Amino acid sequence: MLRLLCFMGITLAVSCSLIHRADEEAWVHEILQDGPPIRDLLSECEWATIDAGFPPGDRDEAGMQVTSGWEIVQQPFSGKGRRFQGMLKIEPLGETGLYRLSSRVRVQANTEVHRTLDLAAADWESMADDQGRARTLLQHLMGRVQAPGLSDDFYRRKPWTEKEEDG
């Protein structure tokens, strides 16, 4: 009996570590240096999800995570309808302004057979995450927080005036 309990405990520990590893592999990561305060970074995460085409969702300030609403793509055939949910996570790395930014896009398929276009009847089943869309979502965020500031020369320069003087 003791051997059986030990075996079950080891099996459970190994399976939990595999699930955690699979969940961790679903995320795409980027390091941000000289980033804004977390409050502002969370706002940029919300805007990045909207820029990437996801509907507004939830903001978890304590968990430092933004989760979009579900973007639904309906299809008249069973198993072909999809919905996508973007997630952005912030992890401070000790120094001020140094963060690990992570992105994930969850995907679910509508397995309803008869009423495939009726969202109330939809039967959503999880699929593999969309790594490409996760990278795109993360790049939307990185573009927002790493955008270089415009120099004073930019504001003084008036290219339309220079073209008129040259011509």
pLDDT score of 161? 45
* pTM score of the predicted model: 0.73
Query: What was the pLDDT predicted at 163?
Result: 45
Cα 167–chain centre separation = 49
Residue 92 corresponds to which tokens in the numbers above?
């401070």
Domains within the chain, CATH numbers bracketed: 26-147 (3.30.530.50)
Measured in residues, the chain has a length of 167
Rounded Cα distance between 3 and 9, Å, is 10
Angstrom distance (rounded) from CA 115 to CA 109: 14
Q: What is the pLDDT along the chain (167 residues), one digit of tens a residue?
A: 656 555 555 655 555 444 444 556 789 999 999 899 999 999 999 999 999 999 999 999 999 999 999 999 999 998 899 999 999 999 999 888 899 999 999 999 999 999 989 999 999 999 999 999 999 999 999 999 985 654 555 445 554 444 444 44
Tell me the C-alpha distance between 147 and 22, whole Å: 32
pLDDT score for 107: 97
Written as six digits, the tokens of 54 are: 């996801």
